[in-house]
């Protein structure tokens, strides 16, 4: 029996702009839109569950399935980004014409907060220093190989494997999925510490704990806390593209390093990550120079 909850939306709320932040591309096996309805699946503290979010007028209908349905439904407003506090952002955005325009045009984008650490952390580790296609293939393969089909009626939706399943793997078991030893061992370390990570009650404490794990740096920590807690200030330091995007969007500079990015974002403290997301939503990107990074297959090495 599915469980339902109706969520009242703020004016201008943008469904796809908000919920797409939860998935790794359009074909993420655990979070994606299907015929206009957003679906996601997760292994909750109460067991596997799936959640659908359907917009009708100024409301979202949240419907949950599976053993963890009640847990997921209780968090459905946070997952939909409705706990995201944007009240202080317009005043900050007004100080820069580009940010002010983006804040107005994309005011309906909210930051989701899932409350689930390990699945987002595992995905972030798989995204370390590889192309988007490589990361997607590894995440999809991990979810389908070691996860389970999601409860409910959505076809081909999968619950990512819980930490205890991943912790029991040998690092070489991830090699056929396209994951080399370094990232594989980092995921296994994170899985073994998942219970400790779950006890972190806020973004700052989780960041500190993540940074103490070998193989996890500021980029992975920021990508994780942004989704787990909806941290609008989390900046992905160490990203290949984001410093250039920020330098181009805010200063018209074709290239920038992490220091320059943080300096340009400082006036938006508390919402620095939000500015980065808005720049991406606005299609702002620095000019490209040189060839694209080649796609590799670690499984063939």
Instruction: Specify the residue for token string 């409705």.
Output: 82
Report pLDDT for 288.
84
Number of domains in the chain: 2
- Select from 33, 66, 84 the last residue of a domain: 84
Report pLDDT for 294.
53
- Select from 20, 52, 84 the last residue of a domain: 84
Residue 62 lies in a domain: yes
Averaged pLDDT in 10-residue chunks for the chain of 301 residues: 91 96 96 97 97 96 98 98 96 97 97 98 96 96 98 97 98 96 98 98 98 98 98 96 97 97 98 98 87 52 47
d(CA 200, CA 130): 28
Residue 180 lies in a domain: no
Q: 205 vs 7, 110, 158, 202, 208, CA distance in Å?
A: 30, 23, 30, 6, 5
What is the value of pTM for the model shown?
0.93
**The domain containing residue 75 runs over which residues?**
3-84
What CATH code is carried by the domain that includes residue 48? 3.30.310.20
């Amino acid at each position: 029996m599915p469980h339902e909850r109706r969520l009242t939306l703020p004016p201008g709320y943008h469904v796809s702009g908000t919920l797409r932040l939860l998935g790794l591309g359009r074909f993420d096996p655990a979070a994606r839109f299907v015929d206009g309805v957003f679906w996601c699946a997760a292994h909750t503290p109460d067991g596997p569950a799936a959640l659908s979010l359907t917009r009708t007028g100024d409301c979202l209908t949240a419907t949950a399935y599976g053993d963890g349905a009640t847990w997921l439904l209780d968090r459905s407003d946070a997952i939909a980004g409705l706990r995201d506090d944007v009240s202080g952002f317009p005043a900050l955005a007004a100080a820069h014409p580009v940010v002010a325009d983006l804040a107005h045009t994309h005011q309906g984008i909210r930051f989701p907060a899932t409350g689930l650490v390990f699945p987002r952390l595992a995905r972030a580790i798989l995204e370390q220093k590889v192309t988007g296609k490589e990361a997607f293939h590894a995440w999809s393969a991990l979810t389908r190989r070691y996860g389970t089909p999601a409860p409910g009626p959505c076809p081909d939706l999968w619950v990512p494997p819980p930490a205890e399943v991943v912790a029991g793997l040998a690092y070489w078991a991830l090699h056929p999925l396209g994951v080399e030893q370094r990232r594989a061992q980092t995921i296994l370390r994170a899985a073994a510490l998942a219970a400790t990570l779950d006890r972190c009650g806020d973004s700052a404490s989780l960041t500190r704990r993540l940074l103490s794990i070998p193989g996890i740096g500021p980029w992975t920590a920021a990508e994780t806390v942004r989704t787990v807690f909806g941290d609008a200030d989390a900046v992905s330091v160490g990203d290949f593209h984001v410093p250039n995007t920020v330098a181009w969007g805010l200063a018209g500079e074709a290239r920038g390093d992490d220091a320059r990015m943080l300096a340009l974002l400082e006036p938006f403290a508390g919402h620095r990550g939000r500015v980065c997301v808005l720049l991406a939503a606005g299609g702002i990107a620095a000019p490209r120079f040189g060839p694209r990074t080649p796609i590799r297959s670690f499984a063939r090495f």
